[in-house]
Amino acid sequence: MPVASCRAEPGEGLPVLCVPAVAVPEHVITQAETLDLARRLHADHPKLSLVLRMIENTGVSKRHLIRPIEDTLRHTGFGHRNRVFEEEARKRVPPVVREALGNAGLTAGDIDAIVLVSCTGFMMPSLTAWMINELGFRADTVQLPIAQLGCAAGTSAINRAADFCVARPGANALIVSCEFCSLCYQPDDLDVGSLLSNGLFGDAVAAAVVRGDGRGTGVRLQAQASHVIPGTAGWICYEVKETGFHFRLDKGVPGTMRRVMPELQQFVWDQGHDLAKLNFHVIHTGGPRVLDALRSHGGVAAEALGDSWDTLASYGNVASASVFDVLRRVAERSPEEPAAGIIAGFGPGITMELALGSWVTDPVGASAAAGREESVAHGVR
């Protein structure tokens, strides 16, 4: 089944996804500590040895949490956890937004839309309304919250922001990813998939600007695609109970990457590239099976996936924020123009979201924004 894709004609004026900003919280848990907790909390679990082996094989060295582990392990109720989400989001999002705007050479007043993604907390009105009221964005800023795409939402947000900028030439869209996966810990969920997730997911906030004028340093977005694997809607999902979100993971999930690889390769080929020969691969850090599939079934060299492996090792799977941290690591290597690359996210549905583009370097925007900051009264405070 072909992917639903969209391609713009190459050239100047295409939207540019500027270098992201990423922040992780201060509380750290190592893999060794995770394994010790699993042994202590689930000493009588009939499949404990399997769970321990799976956690050891995740490739995660450490993860960052918004609260100390003793608070994380206590279930204080769905309502309290959601209040923690709101409080922590309002504290941790602003500095990341400031950095992302600086990376794009823009101010809050230059932003025409905010695309917010999260699958770990719920707010209505959305955090976007709070940002507009408190962080200096214009009152006519378009709000686009995306709440139910899980880990695929990072790439989806990039694509929806690009859509907005193409539809409104010259517009700018800010993407914010706020993922506090530790708030979804459920102490009574003892299935293997849940116990594995307890050693895989971490917390992070990320932000990035898509500039519609084609300026900025980052990825010039040239094509996008979406694909749902038929018959897998219940394979990655939340079961919503009085106690909150309960993560469910089907044992067939690891094999889905093999099934979707032909669509991924065809998408890249349709844009005139070879997946294995792209200059950078920003792949969602869903786990080692995801990254291994790019190598074994996609022909991508192991070293080409180094940035994704580094994010997985350092932060674990931080859901929709993952692709932004991988892209941040790509940016640190300063790819030469016109390096071509792909951004890929996978999540519930099972959904694959893809974006393809080329690296551009344009530091001019930052100096222009510095001058505007002196004369614009509003901005992120």
Q: Which residues are catalytic?
A: 151
As to burial, measured by CB atoms within 10 angstroms (0-12 exposed, 13-18 middle, 19+ buried), residue 189 is middle
Largest separation between any pair of C-alpha atoms in the chain: 65
Q: Where are the alpha helices (DSSP H) in the chain?
A: 31-41, 48-56, 69-72, 78-104, 127-134, 153-167, 192-197, 256-270, 288-296, 306-315, 322-332, 364-375
Give Rg (Cα) of the chain: 20
CA distances from 2 to 159, 185, 228, 274, 347 (A): 18, 37, 10, 17, 18
Place of tokens 């990035």: 208
Positions of E strands within 118-241: 142-146, 172-180, 203-211, 218-228, 236-241
Q: Report d(CA 251, CA 147) in Å as an integer.
A: 24
**Six-digit token string for 1:** 């089944």
Neighbour tally for 371: CB within 10 Å: 9
